[in-house]
Amino acid sequence: MENLILSDRTQKKPGEIQAAGKAEPLKSARPGIEPGKEYQTGILLYCFRISGKALKSTFYERKQEVFMKIQCQKSQLVEAVSNVQRAVSSKSTLAALEGILLKTTTNGDLKLCGYDLELGITTVIEAQVDEPGEVVLSARLFGDIVRRLPDETVTILVDEKMITQITCGPSEFSIVGIPSSEYPELPSVEGASSIDLTSPILKSMIRQTLFAVADTDAKPVHTGTLFNIENGIIRLVSVDGYRLAMRTEMINLKFEEEDEIRFVVPGKTLSEVIKLLPDQDENVEILVGRRHIIFKIEKYSVISRLLEGEFLDYKAAIPAQFTTEVTVNTRNLINSVERVSLLITDRLKSPVRCIFSEDGEIKISCVTSIGKANDELSAQITGPEVEIGFNNRYLLDALRNADTDEVKVQLTGPVSPMKIVPTQGDSFLFLVLPVRLKQE
């Protein structure tokens, strides 16, 4: 123990190794070369420098094996990803369908695509393409990343193994991508008929009919909206078994007019289309094929399958005659129905009772287990008195989607549908089926 302590304190001499209190000279591996000399240290340092350069060179050579490299603005990328992401499958047996396809174009832009085999949304944004290519990235992860990046230029670099580096300012991510070969191709619409509508008109037509689309699959074709084109008129019709909504517009057709063109677009598709439609007076091109439809909206394209099946004969369902007609301020009627509906909940359901009297008064009431509400408003009423009941939500949906200050309410007794139309023209028509009332 004493020897060990002494040896620890003993000064080492150049070329010596100390062990157990003894110092032995370090033998040179080469004759004539004394260990520990400056020229030997220099040789070792030189070797390390050469080795470091070789490693660095290999690293840069590996980094240059780039499969795809682009640069784009964060704001444009975030908007594009957020929109196409809505067409991506949340759960799928095919992993690529849970991702967004990023693909460079021949024009030097970046194309993004989301697709769930029923609905597809594509768009193109400006980009600097340093190396063309394509990759599929997880929609959820990629979307979360780009939304949280700094407001700077985003660089996306993909290597041959689909490892994707996303760099923006000081932020850098590396995520695993999927080869684009695993991504299904979007269907093409060949020999399609073309329809042009301005964005505000199409937006209004969808909004005023989408609320009446069926939300159950009892009859799948009614989960969409019928587009009916004939004699230069386009009608959108939705029906769910309790109500009907129809919107009408005159159009100019690009193709030779046939007797009638009918196709049904899924409500899910129209919900996404209306979100992309600008308020400005932009043109929207609609391409209709045998099984698919494309909406071209500025830099976006929405492609969807069409629904098959026999849609309701809406012309036969609309009453041709009425006995009582009421002209009323739309907002005042909405307010009255909303007030008495305060007693109605998901657990406490009860119809709204409406009495359209000959003296020009509309009496509205509702009774549930927690109370009773009454309201009145004035209107122009012609015809016999009608007492009729309605589901408050169905009645309010129709009134809220009437875009006129006044509406006409046409009635034919307590068991026939209520028809709501504008006071002038025929741009919209709503039918609401009544609810049978109990005698008070």
The CATH code of the domain that includes 110 is 3.10.150.10
Domain end point (choices 248, 280, 305) = 305
State whether 176 and 237 are in the same domain. no
**Per-residue pLDDT at 298:** 93
**Per-residue pLDDT at 75:** 96
State whether 292 and 356 are in the same domain. no
**Per-residue pLDDT at 369:** 87
φ/ψ of residue 207, rounded to 5: -60, -40
**Per-residue pLDDT at 62:** 45
State whether 327 and 426 are in the same domain. yes
What whole-number distance in Å separates Cα of residue 193 and Cα of residue 167? 44
State whether 172 and 145 are in the same domain. yes
What whole-number distance in Å separates Cα of residue 350 and Cα of residue 432? 16
In a domain, residue 382? The reply is yes
In a domain, residue 438? The reply is no
Tell the burial category of 346 from Cβ atoms under 10 Å away from its Cβ (0-12, 13-18, 19+).
exposed
In a domain, residue 312? The reply is no
Domain end point (choices 305, 327, 362) = 305
In a domain, residue 439? The reply is no
State whether 389 and 342 are in the same domain. yes
What whole-number distance in Å separates Cα of residue 325 and Cα of residue 382? 5
State whether 131 and 205 are in the same domain. no
- The residues near 163 (Cβ < 8 Å, ≥ 6 apart) are 174, 175, 176, 177
State whether 123 and 215 are in the same domain. no
For the chain (length 440 residues), average pLDDT per consecutive 10?
A: 40 46 47 50 42 40 72 97 95 92 95 97 97 97 97 96 96 97 91 89 98 94 97 95 96 68 97 96 94 96 97 95 97 98 88 95 94 96 96 97 97 95 96 87
State whether 3 and 91 are in the same domain. no
Model pTM score: 0.82
Total of domains in the chain: 5
H/E element, 74: helix 74-84
State whether 121 and 77 are in the same domain. yes
What whole-number distance in Å separates Cα of residue 93 and Cα of residue 288? 30
**Per-residue pLDDT at 251:** 87
In a domain, residue 332? The reply is yes
In a domain, residue 216? The reply is yes
State whether 170 and 205 are in the same domain. no
In a domain, residue 238? The reply is yes
In a domain, residue 437? The reply is no
- Helix orientation angle between 392-400 and 330-340, rounded to the nearest 10 degrees: 160
State whether 198 and 218 are in the same domain. yes
State whether 208 and 292 are in the same domain. yes
Decide if 370 contacts 391 (C-beta within 8 A).
no
Query: How is residue 61 written in tokens?
Result: 């050579």
**Per-residue pLDDT at 2:** 40
What whole-number distance in Å separates Cα of residue 80 and Cα of residue 94? 23
- CA-closest candidate to residue 160, choices 67, 95, 269, 51: 67
Query: How is residue 288 written in tokens?
Result: 């209709």
Query: 187: which DSSP letter?
Result: P
- Which domain covers residue 134, as residue numbers? 66-182
**Per-residue pLDDT at 252:** 76
Domain end point (choices 244, 278, 305) = 305
Decide if 298 contacts 282 (C-beta within 8 A).
yes
Adjacent-strand bridge partners of 126? 109
